[in-house]
Every structure is written in C-alpha cells, then in structure tokens.
Amino acid sequence: MDTIQAILSRHSVRSFKSDPVPREIIWKILEAANRCPSTANTRPWQVYVAGGEVLDKIRQAMSARFAGGESIRPDIPLTLEWPPALKARIDQNRGERFKVLGIDRQDKAALKANQGLNYLFFGAPVAIFLCMERSLGYWSIFDLGALTQTILLAATHYGLGSIPALNFVGYPDIIRQELQIPESLTLVFGIALGYPDPEDPINQYRSARQPLQEIATFKGL
C-alpha cells in the first residue's frame, strides 16, 4: 500500500471481528515499526503482545474494575483540564460518535456501556502494550508515539484495523500481572489490533480535522 494512502485511510476502529490475526503478520508489523526513529537511536521501547486466553483474562478483570466504579490509574497521569479549544474537539468527537450509535447523551447507562467497550478492547483479538523504563521522560514518550503511529500504518498495510487508547492501560496492575511486566517499566500506551467489523456503523465514522491553515505557519516559503 502507498504510504500516503495508508495515512489517509487509517482510522480508529471501534468494533472488531473475532477472526484471529496470524502471529507472522503481527511479527512483520512490529519488525517494520522497530525501524522508526528515536532520540539518539535509544529505541527505548519494550513491547508486549497479548491474545487468546491471556487477553480474555485482561478484558474480564478490567471490565470488572470499570463496572465496579473504580477509576483508572494509568502510569502516566491523566490530563485533568484541557485547553478550551481542545476540550471542544473532544466534545465534538464524542457527540458525533454518539449520534452514529443512536446514544442520547443524557442516557447514563448507555454512555457507561459504550465506555465499557474500551476495557473489552472493542472485541479485538490482539492487544499491544508499549512500555519504557520509569526513569525516562518526555523525549522517550515522544519516541513511543512515533512507534505507535508506525505500528498503526504497518497494520493498515496488512489489511488490519487498529485503535490506540489510553483506557487500554487504565488498570496497569492487571496488565502487569498477566504479562509479567516488571515494575521498572512504565506502561505508556495500548493498541487494539484486528480485522474491522464492516457491519458495525461505528466503523463508518470518521473524526474531523481542523483546516491546515489553523495549525501550520509558513515563513520564508
């Protein structure tokens, strides 16, 4: 697949088929992603991949925590207050998705059920967790962001859908226990991977992007 085509066609999938993803395809995706750049070529990432019964255990435990009302406690603290323009984008995106799903924003039960899909990894057969040493800081987090995007694009190349999400690492102790991730590593991010369900209307939704004129400044060109 052409690189630009992959960038433009990639989107966040929120409903996956249960079809398994061949291990060799996951390997090829990670092998390609491992070529992404990093600060001073430090390559600070450690990658853990879960599927089958292991991922099912993570799903069940995380869903139980969420259903019980326990707040998420990711290793990297949540942003508690977004700047107004960014908060408006969040609200717009949620509103548009709820409209596609036919969810009334006043229906708290429906909203909670929809949020709970995060902890089921939207039914994806594979979850990828990205980690780094706890002593590392912002630049290494940036490096893991580059790794994340490269994984998403490589997955698109192989005909897979994906979605990166903070909620996937919301209960890090559960993931650590099931994947034997040492406490010396920070769980930075999670990615769900699999074949999109084309019958689910949520997979037809595409989030908006602001015009380039609003984000790019050119000088001397």
Domains of the chain: 3-77+119-205 (3.40.109.10)
Q: Strands 126-133, 161-165: parallel, antiparallel or unpaired by DSSP? A: unpaired
- pLDDT of the chain along its 221 residues, tens only? 789 999 999 999 999 999 999 999 999 999 999 999 999 999 999 999 999 999 999 999 999 999 999 999 999 999 999 999 999 999 999 999 999 999 998 999 999 999 999 999 999 999 999 999 999 999 999 999 999 999 999 999 999 999 999 999 999 999 999 999 999 999 999 999 999 999 999 999 999 999 999 999 999 99
Give the separation between CA 62 and CA 172, rounded to whole angstroms.
9
How far, in Å, CA of 54 to CA of 48, rounded? 12
Helix and strand counts by DSSP (H, E) for the chain: 7, 4
Helix pair angle (172-179, 52-67), 10° resolution: 160
* pTM, to two decimals: 0.95
Predicted pLDDT at 221:
93
CA distances, 1 to each of 4, 99, 119, 153 (Å): 9, 32, 31, 10
Query: Would you call 57 helix, strand, or coil by DSSP?
Result: helix
What pairs with residue 186 in β-bridges?
132
pLDDT at position 1 is 77
Beta bridge partners of 126: 51, 193
Cα(132)–Cα(144) distance, rounded to whole angstroms?
8
Query: What one-character-per-residue DSSP string does 148-172 give?
Result: HHHHHHHHHHTT-EEEEEGGGGSSH
